[in-house]
Amino acid sequence: MADITLTIDGKQVTVPQGSTVLEAAQKADIFIPTFCHDPELSRYGACRMCVVEIPGMRNLPASCVTEARDGMEVYTESPAVIEARKTILELLLANHPLDCLTCPKNGDCRLQDYCYYYGVGDTPFEGEHHEYEVEEENPFIVRDMNKCILCGKCVRACAEIQGRGVIDFAYRGVNTKVATIMDVPLSESECLFCGNCVAVCPVGALQEKGLRSQARTWEVEKVKTTCSYCGCGCNFDLNVKDNKVVGVTSCDGDVNGRALCVKGRFGYGFIHHPDRLTKPLIKKDGEFVEAEWDEALSLVAGKMGETKKEYGADSLSVLSSARCTNEENYLLQKFTRAVLGTNNIDHCARL
């Protein structure tokens, strides 16, 4: 494809034909704020936050849906642009709860980021305020439609990533709202709680229930890892606070991008479940008794050794695990073959 060159804030940028002005600016490391834009979703141009000034064009076009052209001159921080963005923020604030104080998304909210950045602390617009009931009866996702800015990312993620289209815009005008069919709660809809809508929500309208009640956005450390459920091999970030896994959030996975399923995103609770085994157990007179590692390991080593001596190495069998790591499977077969002296090793590959 042919390349074109344009000038953004005085910087020359060369991009492939068909790129948007926003993409060109990003390539030139020029920041343009966005709400409704997402590189993985269809181009939308609804929020207008990304407007820029392009001499010769009528009005301020949204950079996320304007194609870059050869020789174009773009200004991303002109007074008209800044004014437009501030007005957009003020309009959004006119109908947004000012409860950052306790909002679980505080610190990871684009509306807040941009208000801070542009110094918009208040709104001159007074109007109707919605008082939707916060939906939290399912164990996975909290939906607070009072905080929704109608960017439509969740709608598109559900349709375009998850391919389900469980939610869409409903009602009209100021009453417009993202809703399920017949505006029933998610738990009564076809929703499978993959949470991919939560992953794209730029504000506090959609939250991971467990994660957001336990930690604020800046309190967690994120550790990228690979899911331990099915064989897809999705990557995600474990969110850790005080040495506890408090949640899972999307990262850019090799296989999955940001998409996850309900198990991957919300199925981490077993890690800290009280049923976890925390000490070796030895059965004495039919009852398990807690033991120290030394005692347990010597007992196992002794019994394995005795059995081998008495009945031969092939009287021992080992089941390895499709759930454990490669390193552990490797070591266990090495142990079986080199130490126990048998090839009696298998795992539940067939289930």
210-229 positions binding other proteins, by CB under 8 A: 210, 216-218, 221, 223-229
Task: Tell which one of 91, 94, 145, 332 touches other proteins (CB under 8 A).
Answer: 332
Segment interacting with other proteins, rule: CB under 8 A, options 70-78, 127-135, 145-153, 262-270:
262-270
Report the nearest approach of other proteins to the CB of residue 124 (Å).
Answer: 15
Between the alpha carbon of residue 302 and those of residues 268, 299, 319, the distances in Å are: 36, 5, 19
Q: In whole angstroms, what is the distance from residue 116 CA to residue 118 CA?
A: 6
Judged by CB under 8 A, the chain residues 52 through 91 that form the site for other proteins are none
Q: In whole angstroms, what is the distance from residue 82 CA to residue 89 CA?
A: 11
Q: Is 275 left (phi over 0), alpha (psi -120 to 50) or beta?
A: alpha
Task: Tell which one of 1, 102, 173, 285 touches other proteins (CB under 8 A).
Answer: 102
Task: Tell which one of 80, 174, 181, 271 touches other proteins (CB under 8 A).
Answer: 271
Between the alpha carbon of residue 37 and those of residues 50, 107, 169, the distances in Å are: 9, 20, 17
* Residue 5, beta-bridge partner list: 14
Residue with smaller CB distance to other proteins, 172 or 254: 254
Judged by CB under 8 A, the chain residues 115 through 174 that form the site for other proteins are 115-116, 119-122, 138-140, 160-163
Task: Tell which one of 25, 49, 201, 260 touches other proteins (CB under 8 A).
Answer: 260
Task: Tell which one of 11, 69, 279, 309 touches other proteins (CB under 8 A).
Answer: 279
Task: Tell which one of 68, 148, 245, 251 touches other proteins (CB under 8 A).
Answer: 245
Between the alpha carbon of residue 279 and those of residues 75, 104, 214, 285, 332, the distances in Å are: 64, 36, 27, 18, 21
Q: In whole angstroms, what is the distance from residue 338 CA to residue 350 CA?
A: 26
Residue with smaller CB distance to other proteins, 37 or 209: 209
Q: In whole angstroms, what is the distance from residue 64 CA to residue 109 CA?
A: 20
Residue with smaller CB distance to other proteins, 116 or 169: 116
Residue with smaller CB distance to other proteins, 63 or 239: 239
**Do 34 and 50 touch, CB atoms closer than 8 A?**
yes
Report the nearest approach of other proteins to the CB of residue 318 (Å).
Answer: 5
Report the nearest approach of other proteins to the CB of residue 111 (Å).
Answer: 8
Residue with smaller CB distance to other proteins, 143 or 209: 209
**Do 323 and 228 touch, CB atoms closer than 8 A?**
yes
Which phi and psi angles does 3 have, rounded to 5°?
-100, 150
Report the nearest approach of other proteins to the CB of residue 56 (Å).
Answer: 33
For position 185 contacting other proteins by CB under 8 A, the verdict is no
Task: Tell which one of 250, 283, 287, 309 touches other proteins (CB under 8 A).
Answer: 283
Which tokens sit at 289? 């008794």
Q: In whole angstroms, what is the distance from residue 333 CA to residue 351 CA?
A: 20
